[in-house]
Structure 1
């Protein structure tokens, strides 16, 4: 297997950063995934008690314990989470803040979000209503705007090739990853920091998603609430967190002796043009995104051994995605191990694709696929091989796909290979789970 870029520029992943419901960094998050540990819990805050859904997957480590107090106070939670993950990814890539080895005019950022600075927006409105306009913070707009996270990280690290914020609901951070791929392939940048962030565990999203009948109501057993492909699934669990990846050309990475995790070989976009919320039950748009990702990478369905699915644990969505995978991969579906890591992390909305891309490329690196937990009775006739236990991947050249689908009909699939990858680092070895 040899993936090929249409531009001739090979793009590799050289840095990883994360703060998630399973851990405050990449090693703890990966260990949690391999251990099959749920990050979902019952909310004990007073504001949550009247709500019909009182469960969520909050981050394991509060960002305010990592960042300096003064700077944290001038950031919405969204940006706090993004900054924690970005700094880890940058350091993991062997780089320092405003590193002299990185030309700022050749360095870009794309950090996605689905909702943005919700806490700042609603808290500021409360202040204005209760105390008047003179008590409103002058920092509110730079904190609540959708591109606050990208702008803050780009400013801190010195990115001048472009700082972007894709917003495509739950497909947002896969759009960010795909945008970083395009930036480098088109020659706009040699290195890019990409990913997604979301920090909206708040009464408003919980209430509105609950009114839509989109959330699981398993308040009595939160750890078992997210259950993709189980016949008793009843909706997703709201999560929060951020994950960032450092992308660069293969030449740029090798020139500075960077560790290479994987090759980002392709990306595919589509839209259902069917409904604002529900996926097209025929799976036409979703399967097109997978097919486009394969074509973009110059690979075939037979090269794929693993799919990390969007798999939100909703009744219609999970069935549609299984159909989409079968449509796109055809007879090769039989060789593909499929998993749904939202069963452990909950749904990070705009951060979901980045988190699941992290899990996808680490699965390739360690040749180990995390299990989908909470599957007691699998939905019949899915036609896909759902990993309900940790599964090993074969030797050799491998490709894996991560799917992200969002409200508005957005579909984005990104494809990674283990081509050019170095051996796993000891701190992220699977046997440490």
Structure 2
């Protein structure tokens, strides 16, 4: 099988709209939470989220692209532009059929869908939908528009496995390169779901924190008083490249994607299986593919959304698999970014890669009093970042429907 390396990164997040800004705020333990500004929350129980801030789409998009795309696609185009620029790829000198796009989103064009339906429902004398209604909201359009913007004619499609989507997209790109179906992929995920319907829907499920009086600390994985996740938005883009191709052009290599695996819980629409066997199996299979065992993993970026059940099931699974390994560190970065749904896996893959590159593990913030049910022999990095040489990092992402997806990144040498 061919080796796959990461040669470019791009990000739009609640912590910054570039890799440099995002990483700086991540290792400094900055909370991305704020009062919602995207819409009037007067009628809503939850009034805060981790919004993208100071986003200027015109930095990477032209007028037509902005007019014809939903916000989730704009985030995707913006992050993909940064990642391609970062990679140093000379696309115009390559066969366009050698470069593909596999992009994920959990909900697609929610802003477009909600706005168009609400406008139509107002009951004006001659109601009509915008001609771009369907193209803007369908979930594959981010992948399509990335290919159009850069002339990429290889494999192109969207993935959706709810909140495991970012990992799913990267795993697919990884496998296609290994099989020789492409030399390069632009891959990742984007989400723009801080909308009335999304916030209202997740809130009524009691999945979201309602800590309106202290929203900066509301996302608190592993804390005994956690009460749900905090909605986030944005995009993470990675350039996956066949190793020999990257080597031949003298590319900067951030890390190697060494293993990936997916499983299903086959249990419940929204809850993880209480024994965590699906998650455990995904982690084990990913390590098997990477040719390593539990002793080799230095850092885990967990799914850890700050929900009472999910956090415990995952940590108990990690504890069972890793048997209390003292060399393992875990940090839950959704405590800073919030939960980016379909973009979460891609953004956390970037965090895992930057941790390897810089030898720094970002902190888990807002952990005031650890849940007494959490295994005490698990080392959670909290409060401040930790310097550590990282050879292998494991990143988990799980989704409604019982999807489990695990990626393993390796220090390149």
Whether TM-score is above 0.5 comes out as yes
CA contact (8 A) 1:114 1:168 kept: yes
CA contact (8 A) 1:288 1:328 kept: no
Query: Which sections of structure 2, spanning at least 5 residues, go unmatched?
Result: none
Say which of 342, 361, 368 aligns to 2:334: 342
Say which of 73, 89, 93 aligns to 1:95: 89
Q: Please report how far the alpha carbon of residue 205 of structure 1 lies from its aligned counterpart in structure 2 after TM superposition.
A: 0.9
Counterpart in the other structure of 2:250 = 257
CA contact (8 A) 2:99 2:153 kept: yes
Structure 2 CA distance for aligned equivalents of residues 57 and 162 of structure 1: 33
Counterpart in the other structure of 2:64 = 70
SS in 2 for 1:264: strand
Counterpart in the other structure of 2:407 = 414
Structure 1 CA distance for aligned equivalents of residues 315 and 209 of structure 2: 20
Counterpart in the other structure of 1:384 = 378
Structure 1 CA distance for aligned equivalents of residues 125 and 98 of structure 2: 45
Q: Please report how far the alpha carbon of residue 26 of structure 1 lies from its aligned counterpart in structure 2 after TM superposition.
A: 0.5
> Is 1:216 aligned to 2:216, yes or no?
no
Counterpart in the other structure of 1:269 = 262
Deviating 4+ runs (over 4 angstroms): none
Aligned residues: 408
> Is 1:82 aligned to 2:79, yes or no?
no
Counterpart in the other structure of 1:109 = 101
Counterpart in the other structure of 2:11 = 18
CA contact (8 A) 1:94 1:258 kept: yes
Q: How does 1:278-293 map to 2 (within 5 A)?
A: 278-293=271-286
Counterpart in the other structure of 1:427 = none
Counterpart in the other structure of 2:191 = 198
TM-score with structure 2 setting the length: 0.96
Q: Please report how far the alpha carbon of residue 280 of structure 1 lies from its aligned counterpart in structure 2 after TM superposition.
A: 0.7
SS in 2 for 1:47: coil
SS in 2 for 1:268: strand
CA contact (8 A) 2:39 2:195 kept: no
CA contact (8 A) 1:15 1:247 kept: yes
Say which of 104, 112, 119 aligns to 2:111: 119
Structure 1 CA distance for aligned equivalents of residues 6 and 203 of structure 2: 37
Structure 1 CA distance for aligned equivalents of residues 39 and 268 of structure 2: 36
Structure 2 CA distance for aligned equivalents of residues 255 and 55 of structure 1: 48
Structure 1 CA distance for aligned equivalents of residues 64 and 148 of structure 2: 17
Structure 1 CA distance for aligned equivalents of residues 33 and 160 of structure 2: 25
Q: How does 1:313-392 map to 2 (within 5 A)?
A: 313-331=306-324, 333-380=325-372, 381-382=374-375, 383-388=377-382, 389-392=384-387
Once the two structures are superposed, residues 142-191 of structure 1 have per-residue CA deviations (whole angstroms, 9 ceiling, x without a partner) of: 11101010111012222222112110100001000101101101111011
Structure 1 CA distance for aligned equivalents of residues 182 and 56 of structure 2: 30
Structure 2 CA distance for aligned equivalents of residues 399 and 418 of structure 1: 6
CA contact (8 A) 1:19 1:61 kept: no
Counterpart in the other structure of 1:3 = none
SS in 2 for 1:221: helix
Structure 1 CA distance for aligned equivalents of residues 289 and 129 of structure 2: 48
Say which of 173, 181, 190 aligns to 1:180: 173
SS in 2 for 1:385: coil
Q: Please report how far the alpha carbon of residue 133 of structure 1 lies from its aligned counterpart in structure 2 after TM superposition.
A: 6.3
**RMSD of the alignment, in Å?**
1.4
SS in 1 for 2:323: helix
Query: Which sections of structure 1, spanning at least 5 residues, go unmatched?
Result: 1-6, 421-433
Structure 2 CA distance for aligned equivalents of residues 29 and 209 of structure 1: 26
Q: Please report how far the alpha carbon of residue 135 of structure 1 lies from its aligned counterpart in structure 2 after TM superposition.
A: 3.5
Structure 2 CA distance for aligned equivalents of residues 246 and 326 of structure 1: 32
SS in 2 for 1:195: strand
CA contact (8 A) 1:63 1:84 kept: no
Structure 1 CA distance for aligned equivalents of residues 172 and 156 of structure 2: 11
Structure 2 CA distance for aligned equivalents of residues 406 and 133 of structure 1: 41
Once the two structures are superposed, residues 209-267 of structure 1 have per-residue CA deviations (whole angstroms, 9 ceiling, x without a partner) of: 11111000111111100000000100000000000000101110011111100000010
CA contact (8 A) 1:195 1:242 kept: yes
Q: Please report how far the alpha carbon of residue 325 of structure 1 lies from its aligned counterpart in structure 2 after TM superposition.
A: 1.0
Structure 2 CA distance for aligned equivalents of residues 220 and 118 of structure 1: 27
SS in 1 for 2:298: strand
> Is 1:129 aligned to 2:121, yes or no?
yes
Structure 1 CA distance for aligned equivalents of residues 38 and 108 of structure 2: 22
Larger displacement relative to structure 2 (26-35 or 381-390): 381-390
